[in-house]
Amino acid sequence: MTEQTTALAADARAELAAIAPERACDRLAELSALFHGAGSLHLRGRGTVALHLDLASSAVARRAFALLRTLGLDSEIRTYKRRAFDRATRFQLHLAGDDATLATLVEAGVLDRLHRPLPRPPRRVAARACCRGAYLRGAYLAGGSLSTRAPHLELRTSSGEGARFLQEVSAGIGLKLAVAERAGYALAYTKSWDGIEGLLGAAGATDAVLALEERAVVAAARAQANRLANADHANLVRTSRAAQEQLEAARALRADGSLERLDDRLREAAELRLRHPSLSLSELAARAEPPATKAGMHRRMRRVVQLARA
C-alpha cells in the first residue's frame, strides 16, 4: 500500500472518529457496527461475561470510549502489540458484563435477550437513513480499510451474516457491496470509485470524499496529458521517419542523375528536402516558389519516393 493510500485511509478513519452522533438511534447503530466488526464476548465463571472491542487506532478507541460513556457504560482502554511482523499497537476496550451493559447491547442488536451474540443485528437498528449512515461509520471504524492504488474499500465483520447485513444497509442508500467469506471473518467490499465515495459520504467522511474526487480529477488530467504527449511523440516519430525516407530518395535520384530530369515541382521538392533535411512538410511548402500547401508538398514527396524506388 502506498504512503498516499495509507494517509488517505488514516485521514478517513480520523474524520469519522471525530463525529459524535446526536440521535440516540444513531449512537446505538454505531455501537452495533463497532461490536459486529470488532467486538467479542468472553464467558467467565458463574454465568458472567465480559466484552471487548479490539480497535486499530487511538482515535477510534477514544471515539468508542466516548460513545460508551454517552450511553452510560463504563469501559477501560488497554493496549497490546499485535503478534504480526509489524508489531502494531492495538487498542482494546474492556467492558464488564453488568446488567446495564447487557441491556444496551441487546437494544443495539449485538446480543439477543438471552445475552448470546447475534451474527447480525435486527433490521430496526438501521431502519432510518441516519442510522444507516451511523452503522456504516461504525463498521468502517471497526474494520474498514481503503486502497486507492486499485480502488478497494472493505468492511470486515465477524460473520457472513454480518457482511450481508452491511450489504443490505448499503443497498438502502443505493450502494452495491459484494460479500466474501474468509477463514475467521467475512467482509463487504466495493471496488468502484462511486461505491467508495458513496459509502464514505454516507458515513460522514466528506473531506475524504473531496480528497478522492480531487485525486480523480488530477489523475484524469495527468492521463490526458500523457495521451497527448504520447500522440505528439508518435507524430514526431512518423514525421522524422518520413523525412528520412524522402531525404534518401532525393539523394538516390541525385546520385543516378535522375533528379535533373524531374519536372520542376518534383525537382524543387527534392532539392528542398536535400537542403533542409529536418523541416516539416508545412515548412518546406512555405519555402516553395510559389508557396505550396502541405497536402501539395506531401503529394510531391510521395512521388519523389516512388520514382526513387522504381
Task: Quick: pLDDT tens for 113-140.
Answer: 988 999 999 999 999 999 999 999 999 9
DSSP assigned state of 125? G
**Residue 197 contacts residue 214 (beta carbons within 8 Å):** no
- CA-derived radius of gyration, the chain: 34
Share of the chain above pLDDT 90, in %: 60
Q: How far apart are CA 162 and CA 179, in angstroms?
A: 10
Q: Does domain 3-204 have CATH number 3.50.50.60?
A: no
For 257, the grid coordinates are: 542523375
Q: What is the model's pLDDT at position 243?
A: 87
Q: How far apart are CA 75 and CA 93, in angstroms?
A: 6
| pLDDT tier at 198, thresholds 50, 70, 90 | very high
62-112 pLDDT, tens digit per residue, is 999 999 999 999 999 999 988 766 678 899 999 988 999 999 999 999 999
In the predicted structure, residue 216 carries a pLDDT above the cut 70: no
* Strand stretches in 82-239, DSSP E: 89-96, 144-147, 152-157, 178-182, 185-190
139-179 pLDDT, tens digit per residue, is 999 999 998 888 899 999 999 999 999 999 999 999 999 99
CA distances from residue 201 to 21, 38, 164, 262, 275 in whole angstroms, order as listed: 15, 22, 20, 73, 65
| pLDDT averaged over every residue in the chain | 89
Residue in this structure with the C-alpha cell 458472567, named with its chain if needed: 48
**Residue 22 contacts residue 131 (beta carbons within 8 Å):** no
Q: What is the model's pLDDT at position 6?
A: 66
Model pTM score: 0.70
Element (H, E) at 43: strand 39-43
Q: How far apart are CA 31 and CA 38, in angstroms?
A: 10
In the predicted structure, residue 2 carries a pLDDT above the cut 70: no
Q: How far apart are CA 96 and CA 129, in angstroms?
A: 32
Q: What is the model's pLDDT at position 214?
A: 75
- For the chain, the domains span 3-204, 229-309
Strands 185-190 and 89-96, how do they pair? unpaired
25-63 pLDDT, tens digit per residue, is 999 999 999 999 999 988 776 667 889 999 989 999 999
**Residue 124 contacts residue 18 (beta carbons within 8 Å):** no
Q: What is the model's pLDDT at position 219?
A: 64
254-268 pLDDT, tens digit per residue, is 998 888 888 889 989
Q: How far apart are CA 152 and CA 170, in angstroms?
A: 16
- Burial track 4-36 (b if 16+ CB lie within 10 A, e otherwise): ebeebbeebbbbbbebebeeebbbbbbbbbbbb
